[in-house]
Amino acid sequence: MKTALRSYLFAVSTLLFALHAPLTLAAGEEEDENKTPDCPKGQVYDSKTKKCVPEKNSMLSDEDKTRYAYHLAKKGDYQAALNLLDTLKNPNTREAWNYRGYATRKLGRTDEGIGYYQRAIAIDPRYAKVREYLGEAWMIKGRPDLAKEQLVTIKTLCGMDCEEYRDLQAAIEGHPEP
């Protein structure tokens, strides 16, 4: 009986992991960023054709534009990322607000970025990546108390081993207390 129960629990946990895994790699997350090639200025990577296409291509999905905007921001081209996000047909997604907040914060407009992060949280309070970035913004603002609140929330969402938790924890530990 114990062997059957163990086999059943293993099967259930494997199924739950398989069902959860796609949710952790939402459009535009870090995993996609590593696969996204650089395109010439004015072009965006199209995941369907696996080619760089003109940014103005009407067939380009919002998801591809959002993913490429994040790619641009991670490379440090924050204004180009914001310009691309401005072309979205539906800019009201958790990823679009999060990446707009990231690029804006990196341009030094932290308060504006915090507002964008809060819009992403309003859409999906369980989105760990935005919580990480919001916590980093609070550290910039000298509010480690609010950053630690985000860290606690991230821990409830994905545990202490997820990238978002580790990154925000490192940001908090890297800033001395005021």
The answer, as to whether pTM is greater than 0.85, is no
Token pair for 177: 């207390």
Tens digit of pLDDT for each residue in 6-22? 444 444 343 333 333 33
Domain ranges of the chain: 27-124, 128-178
Question: Regarding the domain delimited by 27-124, which CATH topology (the fold level of the hierarchy) does it fall under?
Answer: 1.25.40
Instruction: For 58-73, give one letter per residue: b (16+ CB within 10 A) or e.
Output: eebbbbbbbbbbbbbb
Cα–Cα nearest to 99, from 69, 77, 124? 69
Tell me if 125 sits within 8 A of 137, measured CB to CB: no
Interval 145-151 mean pLDDT: 98
